[in-house]
Amino acid sequence: MVTVSEGRGLYVTCSQEKWDKTKGILAQILTTFSEKGGDWKLDRKTLERDHGFLIHISRIFPMMVPYLRRIHHTLESWQLGRDDEGWKYNATNWMQYLDGLEADFDASKK
Amino acid sequence: MFDNQDSSAPATVLAVQGLEADVRALSDLFEKETPQLRLVRGTALMRAMYGFSDASGSGFGASWKKRGKIKYRFGLWGSDLDESTSNHRELRNLADMVRCMETGGDLKGTEVFIFTDNSTAERAFLKGSSTSRILHELVLRLRKLEMNVGIKLYFIHVSGTRMISQGSDGLSRGKLYEGVMRGEEMTSFIPLHLNALERSPELRSWIESWLVWNNRPLEFLEPID
């Protein structure tokens, strides 16, 4: 939604409905955190849907973009080769990971 | 029906470290009850403000131009920042400066250009986050201000020598008679209002030297064209 305020400039914003939906999504995620504490698990399908909507809203408010990264990392946290913050392993991390597997394998043979 | 979902994906996922902090940051950006306006373009050049900010080990200084007048702030850091890093002090000074500019009111619709010699502060703001919790919170403070007040902030890195000649470096050391403080024009230190041809007169003849075709004269277009 684009709005022009006479003598004030050109602005963009979203509808009240979308604003409220965004607030609701964020509040809902935080509620699940306070309920589950340290072992925080989220429903993947719901988070995926919410993530998509937040990306849509971030086109209007790009200052949101950096704070969407960890939601994306959470969605992909089940994939192999990611650290505790969800970043993909680099070559060194992979080497360490494979060395660890090799050591475990050797230990199991003894 | 075609299903492009990964069938091996689990029903639940484990939250990564830092997810809570990010969601709280987003929640802070959306704390108002009604949709906020994001400024895309200010009304005119008169709605742009230029400011410089610098922090030294013991003090801070900042100067900006508002309605043709130079405004400034300077002082010494309190003991609570004794153990802080220079990056923290620089970004803190920038955040305090913008808040100070906003206190006067009527900033809505203004594009604010802030110049700093600290590239970490510039990058943290541009990126929107920092691995340092303190810097991250300061960036968030600036982003919230940008959203709630309706301004557009630009942080631009300039060299330390430019900062010295502009006078904000002196301000952070208590010197009140350098650069803009002794009457020099703010825009002379940041010639953003000049185009490339105005900044470098040799550029026109250099372009003409390789772009002439059939001896036809070149026409340099202006924004108005």
Q: How many CA atoms lie within 13 A of B53 on its CB side?
A: 29
The values of phi and psi at residue B130, to 5°, are -150, 155
Report ipTM (2 d.p.): 0.86
CA Rg value for chain A: 21
Residues B62 and B52 sit within 8 Å (Cβ to Cβ):
yes
Contact at CB, A61 and B127, closer than 8 angstroms = no
Q: What is the pLDDT of residue A17?
A: 94
- List of chain B residues whose C-beta atoms are within 8 Å of the C-beta of residue A43: 11-12
Count Cβ atoms below 10 Å from residue B190 Cβ, excluding itself.
Answer: 16
User: Considering only CB atoms, which residues of chain B are within 8 Å of chain A?
Assistant: 9-27, 29-30, 34-43, 47, 108-109, 127-129, 143, 146-147, 150
Beta partners for residue A43, in sequence order: B12
Q: Say how far apart CA A69 and CA A74 lie, in whole Å.
A: 9
Q: Say how far apart CA B61 and CA B76 lie, in whole Å.
A: 9
Contact at CB, A19 and B34, closer than 8 angstroms = yes
- List of chain A residues whose C-beta atoms are within 8 Å of the C-beta of residue B130: none
Q: Say how far apart CA A65 and CA B149 lie, in whole Å.
A: 19
Stretch 6-35 of chain A: residues touching chain B, C-beta under 8 Å: 7-16, 18-19, 22-23, 26-27, 29-30, 33
Beta partners for residue B14, in sequence order: A41
Q: What is the pLDDT of residue A43?
A: 92
Nearest to A16 among B24, B35, B147 (CB): B35
Stretch 62-91 of chain A: residues touching chain B, C-beta under 8 Å: 63-71, 73-75, 77-78, 84-86
Distance of CA A12 to the CA centre of its chain: 25
Nearest to B22 among A22, A60, A70 (CB): A70
The values of phi and psi at residue B153, to 5°, are -100, 135
Burial class (CB in 10 A: 0-12, 13-18, 19+), B73: middle
Q: Say how far apart CA B114 and CA B91 lie, in whole Å.
A: 11
Q: Is residue B26 part of a domain?
A: no
Q: Is residue B3 part of a domain?
A: no
Q: What is the pLDDT of residue B43?
A: 61
Contact at CB, A41 and B14, closer than 8 angstroms = yes
The values of phi and psi at residue B151, to 5°, are -115, 170
Residues B203 and B196 sit within 8 Å (Cβ to Cβ):
yes
The count of structural domains within chain B is 1
- Low-confidence stretches of chain B (pLDDT beneath 50): 1-3, 44-46
E runs forming strands in chain B: 12-14, 38-41, 48-55, 59-66, 69-76, 111-116, 152-157
The pTM assigned to this predicted structure is 0.68
Q: What is the pLDDT of residue A26?
A: 95
Range of the domain at B159: 35-192
Residues A32 and B19 sit within 8 Å (Cβ to Cβ):
no
Compute, in degrees rounded to 10, the torsion defined by CA atoms A89, A92, A98, A104: -110
Q: Is residue B8 part of a domain?
A: no
Count Cβ atoms below 10 Å from residue B206 Cβ, excluding itself.
Answer: 10
A60 contact B CB<8A: yes
- List of chain A residues whose C-beta atoms are within 8 Å of the C-beta of residue B11: 43-45
Q: Say how far apart CA B152 and CA B27 lie, in whole Å.
A: 20
Q: Say how far apart CA B95 and CA B62 lie, in whole Å.
A: 11
Q: Is residue B10 part of a domain?
A: no
- List of chain B residues whose C-beta atoms are within 8 Å of the C-beta of residue A4: none
Q: Is residue B129 part of a domain?
A: yes
- List of chain A residues whose C-beta atoms are within 8 Å of the C-beta of residue B129: 66-67, 69
Count Cβ atoms below 10 Å from residue B52 Cβ, excluding itself.
Answer: 29
A51 contact B CB<8A: no
- Low-confidence stretches of chain A (pLDDT beneath 50): none
Q: Is residue B175 part of a domain?
A: yes
Q: Say how far apart CA B9 and CA B22 lie, in whole Å.
A: 24
Q: What is the pLDDT of residue B2?
A: 45
List the structure tokens of B118. 């600290």
Contact at CB, B29 and A63, closer than 8 angstroms = yes
**CATH number, domain at B167?**
3.30.420.10
Q: Is residue B176 part of a domain?
A: yes
Q: Is residue B21 part of a domain?
A: no
